[in-house]
Amino acid sequence: MSNVPGSPAHTNLLAREKSPYLLQHAHNPVDWHPWGDPAFAKARAEDKPVFLSVGYSTCHWCHVMERESFENEEVGKFINEHFVAIKVDREERPDVDKIYMAFVQATTGGGGWPMNVFLTPSLKPFYGGTYFPPEPNHGRPSFLQLLKRIAELWTSQRKEIEGSADDVAQKLKAMGEHDAGNAYPAGLRELHGAGQTFLHEYDPAHGGFGGAPKFPRPSQPLFVLRHARRFHEADGTKAVVHTCDAMAAGGIHDLLGGGFARYSVDEKWLVPHFEKMLYDNAQLVQLYLDVHLVDGGARHAAVVRDTLGYVLRDLTDPEGGFYSAEDADSEGQEGKFYCWTLAELKSLLSPAELKAATHHWGITEKGNFIDHSHPHPLPGLNVLSVVHPDPSDAGRALLASARAKMETARAGRVRPHRDDKVLASWNGMMLGAFARAGAVLGEPAFLKAAERNAEFLRTRLWEDSTRSLYHRWRGGERDSVQLLEGHANVLAGMLDLYEATLEPRHLEFAVAVAESMMERFHDAVGGGFWQTTSDTPHLLMRVKDDYDGAEPSGNSVAALALLRMAAICDRPQWRAAAEKTVRLFAQKLHQMPQAVPHLFLALDFLQQEPKRVVLAGDPARADTAALLKAVHGVYEPNRVVSGTRGPVEEFARTLPAGDGFTQAYCCSGHACEAPTRDANKVREFLGRVPRE
């Protein structure tokens, strides 16, 4: 640690980094190091344990622990004397986070961020947890007490600690192993059983699946919709529509600015954890598009528009990349930017507007939110939610007037911190969301945003000469990390863009990404995909991610994307890789369906040859656009659409266009219907649901 004239009292090595999270800690009294050789060499040379702390820049409790402990001079001095301290941004290095989170979850029964783990100099964990308080409470030691105890044990029981760490490392490796030859079934029975399991968890009172805290976790309702369609179970459709309506009306949905917060702390979707993540909003757009197609109402399309409007306004780089997140806190208080007091609104709105707003959004003097993490929470804060919907025409006019005034007033507030790094994985998700929304809703602006983002990914994170896709871009620089989730999500997003436009260049890029993914991450012997490349340094082990949490796993996304690619490009090796991936994780599909809802989308796709629509004609023609709109206007998740140019399968390239017009070839299995120019016939073909 060094004192620099004209700078804060402390400056550590994190000041050289690009991650907003690491930069937030660059002036702590803790002598933080980034993950890498210098830190590990220091730990070995000084024979000190490593204190590894993992979080992300919009993490509320990460801010709390920094304020309470990492900014504390006494704590910093003790850490510097007895440990080598390393900070990791979990969003930049999900591979590092995954390994040590597995340890924390296995040893404590839970996990989360900040994650704090103590390692030997060989990077083997021996103790860990999440948030540690600054003072002892409820039988837990203070963070400083814990540090002193760990340092004492490192001196007095070194041999036992290292032996335990060796044992832990072996167990972690064993936990990550999968039986490629497992005999667990994976078919229609598992699809039906998983759907029933998810519906059993459905909350009929408030929507959603499970209890508080409630995460949207879109993969689950996305699968329930597929299950409902395949097995003709109307209850599944009703559950998902209800869930989407409840979330859209709840405080988890930013009713003024658009977009969704990360989760709700209660079962009613009322009080959110206010941070907004790009990956949540991308997946929710896909879910609301599906519900829009199934339900047919305009309200779900409106949610898509306001969510993507928020991303365009607040999370889009001038070059077309999408930023990662916005914080829960502003001015040190959670929710301050988003919440309202009754007194504020009395001073802002007319009496008639105030009456309409308080009735509609449930605003009271007492409020409905308290920031319990802050020593001095602000009183009377209200999270907006729709308490009394569907006002009269006069009421809607008053609400519109009140909303305009509130939007103007909120724009003058101090905004939450924005994490402006651009991640390949999350950009791939949002690229797909914009592309598909443009196609389904007929919004050229959304397609334009998708095109710009695809170009950003090509020019900033993709290297043609080595066919490499890197993970992070910020401040004019990309990192050197390559990850499965980046490849898989960019592949899926480029496929959505290709199917929305039929532009061959988009499919060509998707093919290049798929080939890179297969080369770098595919386990041809054991099946599935590694999270990291074989030459990624300093990892205890390579992991095959198999959990679809807030983000779907790279394996689940890769499996579904490769199945779609195989159907469009006739690459049987890609289908085989996807099938083997599903087979590798069949035990989870069979025994723990809640862990892999996104993988069930791939299993559902695998049950039959997908319906194929080939449009023969110039993609720029108006009649091509009309037929493409028909394709995207039907809920049929297990279909692909392609043109006849570029790296499409050979049969598609032989199909002739009409004489001056585009025609559609609708194919199922090995048979195609007569070519048609009639959009209604395309819709009718895609709308047929087979009986299981």
pLDDT-based confidence at 281, cuts 50/70/90?
A: very high
* Backbone angle region of 362, left / alpha / beta, with phi > 0 → left and psi within -120 to 50 → alpha: left
pLDDT tens-digit readout, 121-171: 999 999 999 999 999 988 789 999 999 999 999 999 999 999 999 999 999
Surface-to-core class of residue 424, CB atoms within 10 Å of its CB (0-12 exposed, 13-18 middle, 19+ buried) = buried
Please give the single-letter amino acid code of residue 138: H
What is residue 87's predicted lDDT score, i.e. its pLDDT?
98
**Beta strands 50-55 and 84-89, pairing class:** parallel
User: DSSP letters along 473-508, please?
Assistant: EETTEE-S--BHHHHHHHHHHHHHHHHHH--HHHHH
Strand-pair partners of 639: 611
Residue 303: both structure tokens together:
């949610």
Give the Cα separation of 207 and 214 in Å (integer): 10
Q: Is the pLDDT of residue 30 over 80?
A: yes
Give the Cα separation of 294 and 281 in Å (integer): 20
Give the Cα separation of 136 and 362 in Å (integer): 38
CA atoms 179, 182, 184, 187: torsion sign: positive
* Average pLDDT estimate for 274-294: 98
Count of alpha carbons within 13 angstroms of residue 632, beta-carbon side: 26
What is residue 7's predicted lDDT score, i.e. its pLDDT?
46
What is residue 279's predicted lDDT score, i.e. its pLDDT?
98
Q: Is the pLDDT of residue 572 over 60?
A: yes
pLDDT-based confidence at 563, cuts 50/70/90?
A: very high
Residue with the bigger pLDDT between 631 and 9: it is: 631
Surface-to-core class of residue 327, CB atoms within 10 Å of its CB (0-12 exposed, 13-18 middle, 19+ buried) = buried
Cα 674 to Cα 9, 614, 662, 663, 664, distances in angstroms: 76, 12, 13, 10, 9
pTM for the whole thing? 0.95
Q: Is the pLDDT of residue 227 over 80?
A: yes
Give the Cα separation of 474 and 182 in Å (integer): 43
Q: Is the pLDDT of residue 341 over 50?
A: yes
CATH class of 188-328+420-606: mainly alpha
* Average pLDDT estimate for 241-258: 98
pLDDT tens-digit readout, 89-105: 999 999 999 999 999 99
DSSP H stretches of helix in 315-461: 342-348, 351-361, 393-411, 424-441, 444-456
Average pLDDT, the chain: 95
Q: What proportion of the chain, given as a percentage, has pLDDT over 90?
A: 92
User: DSSP letters along 551-588, please?
Assistant: S--HHHHHHHHHHHHHHHHT-HHHHHHHHHHHHHTHHH
What is residue 375's predicted lDDT score, i.e. its pLDDT?
87
* Average pLDDT estimate for 252-266: 97
Q: Is the pLDDT of residue 595 over 90?
A: yes
Contacts of 482 (CB under 8 A, 6+ apart): 468, 469, 470, 471, 520, 532, 533, 536
Cβ burial 426-446 (10 Å sphere, 16+ → b, else e): bbbbbbbbbbbbbbbbebeeb
Q: Is the pLDDT of residue 6 over 70?
A: no
pLDDT tens-digit readout, 619-653: 999 999 999 999 999 999 999 999 999 999 999 99
Residues in the chain: 692
Q: Is the pLDDT of residue 1 over 50?
A: no
Q: What proportion of the chain, given as a percentage, has pLDDT over 70?
A: 98
Neighbours of 508 (CB within 10 A): 14
Closest of 641, 692, 629 to residue 666, by C-alpha: 641
Secondary-structure breakdown of the chain: helix, strand, coil percentages, each rounded to the nearest 5: 50, 15, 35
What is residue 582's predicted lDDT score, i.e. its pLDDT?
97
Residue with the bigger pLDDT between 375 and 554: it is: 554
pLDDT tens-digit readout, 651-665: 999 999 998 999 999
CATH class of 13-175: alpha beta
What is residue 692's predicted lDDT score, i.e. its pLDDT?
60
What is residue 691's predicted lDDT score, i.e. its pLDDT?
66
